[in-house]
Chains A and B, each alone.
Chain A
């Protein structure tokens, strides 16, 4: 088993909102009243159905309620459980589902305030992503500006599935704000479910939805590259979370191939897409969606053509592996160090200061 190194940074854990009542103290009077008056009870999307094996590992499952819903549990199971020095909380809640921009903004504001007060203030090993109302770039930027001063927020969280492809210019103010404040943009599996979560329409099962996340990530990444987001915001770091990564070499080969013949459509893309990914895009380790044997996995790492792309993650409490075996055995010690320590620090500008703290 590959042991986690001191200083390991877990780039993707998922503390849960236990229930909507937990956010009420962080809402203003109007929205608190609206939650009660309208009878809003829950805000979980269908992305992680509570009873799906994927949603929570058996040993982390509770007799009732959401997993990972209180700090003591997350400390015990994730932080102490893996011995990570830092973990980044990417809170998955239904903020992105609202059709009302104002409601989304109010709930995002409450969620981030809850994250700061109930988690970050009480646990120095935690960092978090700013959850934004992606329904409106203007309101999303306002939410980024509200928290940008707080260096414990290290990224901006978006879902891979939205109303339109993420590279579209309507989203550029979000990328500009993230770049300006040294925040990475984390794109997590999931959707606002305003469109089918697969490129070919509504599927029947959770299985299809989850497997097809890889196609959503391919589409989102292609959009970001082709629309010129990384030309406009060259210092922007985009992290794909819970995306898998074995699809990346083949997809980049395909994208680069067609770029050679069609690049006059997107003349600002003046480097091969694979080069752009190597400078601006990172991916989380879990779920490892490749074969476990060393030869196959290392061949895949060769195809990635970079040891800087992968960031350690447990995806806690989602069930991607057992025990503490988050790192596949096949990974060489040198690459393991990069994945666990060096790459996360290089990716999240706000973690850079850690180096000095540790030293």
Chain B
């Protein structure tokens, strides 16, 4: 595993996402209110591109007729069949232990730190005055 620079922070605003490729792996990077998360861009069901899914909230119920809506923007629905995944963990809602997409650690580092390494930034030009999103792959 090594940390890879995938984008300047300014490129993925809160609520935004970007599909990046790191060491040949397609990874969807999401910004949830300033926190960044990375998911393998492949639905474990049939391989749908999760990066193209709708971000929604978590709908739960204590009893029939209840609709409790929490965590707006943190649940990703696969664009193919609507399976729901927790952006923070990659776990599916209906079977979190067995059905999940791989989650990659994502962080933010200052340009100065990135320049000093050890970070891999093959395709991203790095400026010391910017902050960068880094993914551990």
B60 interfacial contact with A, CB 8 Å: yes
Proximity bits, B97-122, A CB within 8 Å = 1, else 0: 00000000000000000000000000
Partner of B61, one of A227, A229, A260, A267: A267
Given contacts A267-B59, A268-B61, contact A261 B66 (CB under 8 A): no
Number of A-B contacts (CB under 8 A): 48
* Chain A residues within an 8 Å CB radius of B81: 260-261
Q: Could you tell me if A268 and B82 are in contact, using CB atoms closer than 8 angstroms?
A: no
Nearest A residue to B56, CB-CB:
A264
Q: Could you tell me if B64 and A227 are in contact, using CB atoms closer than 8 angstroms?
A: yes
Q: Could you tell me if A268 and B66 are in contact, using CB atoms closer than 8 angstroms?
A: yes
Q: Could you tell me if B59 and A260 are in contact, using CB atoms closer than 8 angstroms?
A: no
Give residues 19-69 of B contacting A (CB, 8 Å).
45, 56, 59-68
Q: Could you tell me if B94 and A231 are in contact, using CB atoms closer than 8 angstroms?
A: no
Give residues 80-94 of B contacting A (CB, 8 Å).
81-84, 92-94
Partner of B94, one of A228, A229, A232, A259: A259
Q: How far is it, in angstroms, between the C-alpha of A291 and the C-alpha of B83 when the chains are bound?
A: 35
Q: Could you tell me if B68 and A263 are in contact, using CB atoms closer than 8 angstroms?
A: no
Q: Which 6 A-B pairs have the closest CB atoms?
A: A228-B64, A261-B82, A268-B61, A267-B61, A264-B59, A261-B81
List, sorted by A's number, 17 A–B pairs whose CB atoms are closer than 8 Å.
A169-B64, A169-B65, A231-B61, A231-B63, A231-B64, A232-B63, A232-B64, A260-B92, A261-B81, A263-B94, A264-B56, A264-B59, A264-B84, A267-B59, A267-B60, A267-B67, A270-B60
Report B's interface with A, CB cutoff 8 A.
45, 56, 59-68, 78, 81-84, 92-95
